[in-house]
Amino acid sequence: MNDIHISGTGIWTPPDKVSNDELVESFNKYVDLYNSEHANEIKEGSIVALDHSSSEFIVKASGIKNRYVIEKDSLLNPKLMKPKIKARNDDELSFTAEVSVFAAKEALKNAGLNPSDIDAVIVSAANLQRAYPAIAIEVQNELGIEGFAYDMMVGCSASTFGINNAYCDIKSGKSSKVLVISPEITSGHNNFKNRDGHFIFGDICTAVVIEKNSQSKNKFKILDTKLKTSFSNNIRNNYGYMNAIEDKEYTESELLFVQNGRKVFKEVMPFVSSLILEQLNENDLIAEDIEQYWLHQANINMNSYVIKKLLGENFPPERAPIILDEYANTSSAGSIIAFHKHNHLTNGQKGIICSFGAGYSICSILLEKE
């Protein structure tokens, strides 16, 4: 019998760390500048004054305390409010390919494999640096991997959808060992001038090795995958190549991340818990049979809702590890970070990696430690 395993994971973490206090200080300076520059319009009532943020508000709303970003000086400059990186020539390795290679090498090391062992690369993220050539093919070339590679995007579920694709590619016989990489450079799409969202995101890159009949000493058999999508406008990023030919001049904020958080919570949370329960039922399991749930890391209140629906009010925190206090929302990478850093399964125990969000999209991966 051919079993398919997760055999190694890796992460690349940016060098710059930003605390809530740093972010709030910068944001509030921006607010003061804005309100001062638009004092007459505010007085006339044609525009509304901006409100200050606070670290207490951020923690209460999200559970986030810190985040890692690719560049902090420009992001914290109240006259810029976004990170800046040096543009690279076409003959240089792109930024997201570079960080993907870092994460991939750690995942390969943890799996006990070399790049020559891999026969496919999937780069799956909420946002991609360019349309083509595929970042995955660039990574494939840099690592010297034979076979095929492709990019894909499924919002906050991109990493788990990528794992599912790797699982299906292996199951069909198209490949035997696949790298799934998620470079989530979320600071590039976030609006740091928006009080309700300036604190949400952090940057990261994760990598996962999926392989047939793994010989790794730390392997997890994939027992089942379950996916579901339902269209919603409540989480959007409207930036794309069609903007250039549309009969509209977009503002910067119109081409950055936007969400209706209250509607997302109300609509997605029951969606997630019901999908996991359906998956468990289909595999003759109950929620208590799952030792750990590595959930999407967007908001601590979302995670608490899901896990309480599954395990009740008084669940042990280690059953559903939280990493967003340190990393913030890293889009599709969050559940993989939680799996990578907080995994205490022993042989025979089961776990679920589940990510959910924009789309709406949900993917749940049922695992067993071997």
Name the band, by pLDDT with cuts 50, 70 and 90, for residue 314: confident
Q: What is the pLDDT of residues 71-84, one digit of tens each?
A: 999 999 999 999 99
Active site residue 363: no
Fold type of domain 221-369: Peroxisomal Thiolase; Chain A, domain 1 (3.40.47)
Q: How much is the average pLDDT of 342-347?
A: 96
Digit-coded pLDDT (tens) for 155-196: 999 999 999 999 999 999 999 999 999 999 999 999 999 999
Catalytic residue among 156, 205, 354, 363: 156
Cβ contact 328:19 at 8 Å: no
| Residue 185, strand partner residues | 203
pLDDT in tens, 260-294: 988 999 999 899 999 999 999 999 999 999 999 99
Q: Check if the beta carbon of residue 135 is closer than 8 Å to that of residue 233.
A: no
Q: What share of the chain is helix, strand, coil (3-state, %, to 5)?
A: 40, 25, 40
| Burial status of residue 155 (CB atoms within 10 A of its CB: 0-12, 13-18, 19 or more) | buried
Is the alpha carbon torsion for 314, 310, 209, 93 positive or negative?
negative
Query: For all residues of the chain together, what is the average pLDDT?
Result: 96
| Average pLDDT over every residue of 197-209 | 97
pLDDT tier at 127, thresholds 50, 70, 90:
very high
Q: Kindly tell me the sign of the dihedral angle through the C-alpha atoms of 324, 186, 22, 50.
A: negative
Residue 351 has which token pair?
A: 């776990």
pLDDT at position 1, please? 59
Checking if the pLDDT of 145 tops 80, the result is yes
CB-based contacts of 300, cutoff 8 Å, min separation 6: 62, 63, 322, 324, 325
pTM: 0.96
Q: What CA–CA distances, in Å, run from 307 to 60, 142, 163, 322, 357?
A: 18, 40, 22, 12, 16
Domain boundaries, the chain: 221-369
3-state secondary structure of 302: helix
Q: What whole-number distance in Å separates Cα of residue 68 and Cα of residue 202? A: 5
Percent pLDDT > 90 in the chain is: 97
